[in-house]
Every structure is written in structure tokens, then in C-alpha cells.
Structure 1
Amino acid sequence: MTRQAQLDQLEAQVRDTLQEGDILFISINSFLYKQVARGTGSWCSHVGFVVREQGEWFVMESAVPVVKRSPLRSFLSKTCEDQVAIRRLKSGVSSDQIDRLKAEAEKRLGTFYHLGFKYDSKRQFCSKFVHECFRDALDIKLGKVETLEVLLEQNPQASVGFWRAWYFGLIPWQRRTLTPASQLADDALETVFSTRSC
């Protein structure tokens, strides 16, 4: 099967499952994102949430370089080995809540990406963006905010050498961050579709 055919099949499966407000997890095939996944003991390294506009599906995401609205197919095309999971709030999402989620996402469109994954920053990164939108729109905090020290202590398989180099020789141990893996495991969500075990 060609890559195009694989993507067609994956997109069709995802479209058949989607509801607005669903959260999509993927695995990006780049060195940085692979280190993010490895450092959290998870397969996933990127996350966004789904909205529908004028009959089309889009994923609101914080990506390099800015927060943007991506067509569903464009978002899915970034995942490696067709790895994707869709998780949904167990409590459900009303149309009014969807409107609030969209409004929070719109406020952040164009905000630059924080390559140092600093939660306490005006910049965004994927899991922080999802966390903030759901927190401010629905008062639901998805994922766990923790320091780099705690995160790396809990994940001994992480490459401390890589992160030391990434932070120019000195890891900011007390920097707070938030990972896609912690959202993938959040008890407020249920998995409604996955191409692999979550």
C-alpha cells in the first residue's frame, strides 16, 4: 500500500470517530520529538484538539513556529507509522463548551512555540496549549504540570545527555513543564480510537 493510500485509510477511520473537542495524539518522526517521547516513556510526542468549521475538520495545535489551525489530513500526515489515538472527555462536551474552546484557541493563534518547554512562559507548546484551552474554557486541567527534575527522575530511560545539550549544558531542573504523555494517561479522558495500545 502506498503512503497516500495509508493516509487515506487512516484519515477515513479517524473521521468516522471524531467529535468536536476530541484530543488527537500522534508520534512525530523527528529527533527532538522522539526524545520527548523517550523522555516520558510514551509513544506519543504531539497533541492537539479537534474542531469543525464549515463542514471541515481542523486540529488546533501549538506547533513550530506558532499556534495554528491545521487541516486534519495535514496533522495526521505528521505521524510516523500511522500512530494516532483519539481521546475524549468522559463528561462529554456541549456545543456551548465547544464555542468556549474555540474562543480560547483563537486567543492563542500565532503565539510562538517555546522550544524549552517552559510552562511558565507567554509562549506555547503542544501540551501546554491543550491544557490551557481546556482549563480556561471548561475548568478542566488535562495532564500534570511538573518540574523537569521530577519528570526525568521518573523516567530513567530519558537521555539526560540530550537534554543537557538541548539546554546548552545546564538543565533548568526546577522549570515546570507538561507532557503529551501525561494527557494521554489522564483519567478525565477515554480512548475512543487508537492504532496502538495507549
Structure 2
Amino acid sequence: MTTRTRWFLVAIITVPLAASATISRHSGNKPKSVAGLHNGDILFQTLEGGQSDAIAQATGSPWTHVGVVFKEDGEWMVYEAVGPVKATPLPRWIAQGSKGHFVAKRYVSGPNGPLAEEQARRVRSAMERFMGLAYDWRFDWSDERIYCSELVWKAYAEGIGIELCSPRPLRDHSLDSELVRRTMVERYGNAPPLDEPMIAPGVLFDCPLLITILER
């Protein structure tokens, strides 16, 4: 994959890292509308930035970032790949999204139930294996570096043997809009890696194995 190629993939599914909140993990400033969350729930949001419109048009989805939530020492933490892979306090994670909006989805392992604690522990252990790993600007399907939706997909696949959806080649995305084509030409010339498998946040969001349990 060429340098120009990796920048094209960044424009399509990476998360803008500019937005940030100054809420500390132990500030006591807890989110008010997260009742019902369970360990292992998957959180989606849109991050504001210059690439947001291109991301939405290319993937057909407004969702540009995703992570998995776990409770640690009484605080909800979102495991996410933003370079490096880290655990972010939920209030800070919410604040970085557009208008603080997010959706929580859940893989239902039993009759309308969340992951069993052992399942959640295994998903978390799988994510911890990637902690500190650099962001995957190449979007290679490897474990040397990793991006947000790849982290979530691999955590479930490796942790509990569940493939939430199938990786899709770049060519399956909507690449014909003026904005997306202009972004491609400006950054990567005319040779995007159309057959590179990838998992976009929007693909995870539409996974039929997940149900929506919270929207704020």
C-alpha cells in the first residue's frame, strides 16, 4: 500500500482527533443519561472535522468513530483506537462527539440480555492486547497497528468468537461524489486500493447482530 493510498483510507474512515474535552476521570462530572449501559456495549459517535462530510458520503453513514465501554473502579471507560489505543473516560468521550450525541448498541448473547460478565471480560482482555498500539494509517488487516472499528471487530472475534460483520473492500463504498473524488485526487492520486478489506464504523452500526439500547 502506497503512502498516498494510506492517506485516502484515513480520509474515509479515520476519526478526527482534534475534538477533546477537559473532563478528568475522577472529576465527579458524570454523564446523566447512560443508565442501562453494560460492559461490552458498543458506542458510536460522529466526530467533527474537515473530513466528516467525506466520511459520511463514502460510507453512507454519519458514524465515524466507535469504541467499547467497560466499568473500571466505578467509572465508565471507552476503549478506543485513536493513536494510541487507550481507555477514555465516558464523559470525555461523549464530549468529543458532535453535539455530544452518541448511540450505544449491544450484542445480545441471550434473550434480550447483555454479554455475560465472562464474555465481557474476554472482550476486554482482547482489547487490552492492543493497548498502546499506534493508529493504523495504512488500514492493513494486521495487528501491527489498528484503527477504531477494526479494534472493536477484532475484540469480539478474538474474545468470544463473534464476527459482527464481514470486512468489505474499499470498492464497495460510495466513492463517486464530488467531495470524495476531490479528496481522493488531492491526497492519493488515481490509484486507491479498491480491494483492501476494511471495517468502517457505519458497517458495524448496521450490523444485524446489534440492537440499539441507548441514544443521546
TM-score by length of 2: 0.78
Distance apart, 1:10 and its partner CA: 9.2
Map 1:98-109 → 2, pairs under 5 A:
98-109=120-131
Distance apart, 1:9 and its partner CA: 10
Identify if the C-alpha distance between structure 1 residues 28 and 84 changes in structure 2 by more than 3 Å, giving closer, same or farther: same
Structure 1 Cα separation of the partners of residues 174 and 84 of structure 2: 26
Structure 1 Cα separation of the partners of residues 54 and 139 of structure 2: 13
Structure 1 Cα separation of the partners of residues 74 and 156 of structure 2: 23
Letter in structure 2 aligned against 1:165? E
Identify if the C-alpha distance between structure 1 residues 24 and 157 changes in structure 2 by more than 3 Å, giving closer, same or farther: farther
User: What is the root-mean-square deviation of aligned Cα atoms in Å?
Assistant: 2.5
TM-score by length of 1: 0.84
**Structure 1: gaps of 5 or more residues:** none
Map 1:10-29 → 2, pairs under 5 A:
11-14=31-34, 16-29=35-48
Distance apart, 1:33 and its partner CA: 4.2
CA contact under 8 A between 1:40 and 1:158: conserved in structure 2? no
Structure 2 Cα separation of the partners of residues 113 and 30 of structure 1: 18
Match of 1:182 among 178, 190, 203: 203
Output one character per residue of 1:146-186: Cα deviation in whole Å (capped at 9) or x when no partner. Answer: 11112236x75871221343335531111111111011110
Structure 2 Cα separation of the partners of residues 10 and 192 of structure 1: 19
Identify if the C-alpha distance between structure 1 residues 166 and 176 changes in structure 2 by more than 3 Å, giving closer, same or farther: farther
Distance apart, 1:34 and its partner CA: 4.0
Higher helix share: 1
In structure 1, the residue matched to 2:119 is: 97
Distance apart, 1:26 and its partner CA: 0.4
Structure 1 Cα separation of the partners of residues 139 and 159 of structure 2: 22
Q: Percent identity?
A: 24
Identify if the C-alpha distance between structure 1 residues 175 and 165 changes in structure 2 by more than 3 Å, giving closer, same or farther: farther
